[in-house]
Amino acid sequence: MNEKKRILFVCLGNIVRSPLAENMFRHLAEQAGAGERYEVDSAGTAAYHIGEAPDARMRQVAAERGLVYSGKARQFQADDFERFDLILPMDASNKAEILRLADGQAAHARVRLLREFDPQGSPDEPVPDPYYGGLDGFHEVYNIVARATRRLFEALERGEA
């Protein structure tokens, strides 16, 4: 892989699921000595939290497992199709919102649900949004995102994604 692979993770507000996936993928790539081969970002389909830091509960769960991160929420834009090679929404609703802005088949081909890479999930299954629940939901999301991002990273390194 000579050129950087550009990856965008997308959820609703860009404060829980997608920043976790962004930072987890970045961490995996850096740990494998492959950080320079990837450009990673995250965005939300809604404008609810633009400029806000990631959800404190998700950061707490991640920090308990050794992943510390920060960032600021932003909204998905149509020009993200030009900037990123692979766009990974967390659920079918986010995927539909993204594809609504897509211009042509090339843009559609860049969009795949993150759970397609989860060895314990089905390809069309969502990464659940734990925002309105307790910490158990955040732990569940962490586990799902950890499995899926690891498998995604491995597939990309093998040239399969």
For the annotated catalytic residues, the residue numbers are 11, 17, 129
Is residue 13 within 8 A of residue 132, CB to CB? The reply is no
Give the chain's end-to-end CA distance (angstroms, integer).
12
Query: Can you read off the two tokens belonging to residue 94?
Result: 């986010």
Calpha distance 25→7 (Å, rounded): 9
User: Phi and psi dihedrals of 59, rounded to 5?
Assistant: -65, -35
Query: Can you read off the two tokens belonging to residue 10?
Result: 């997308």
In 3D, which of 93, 58, 62, 98 has the Cα closest to residue 78? 98
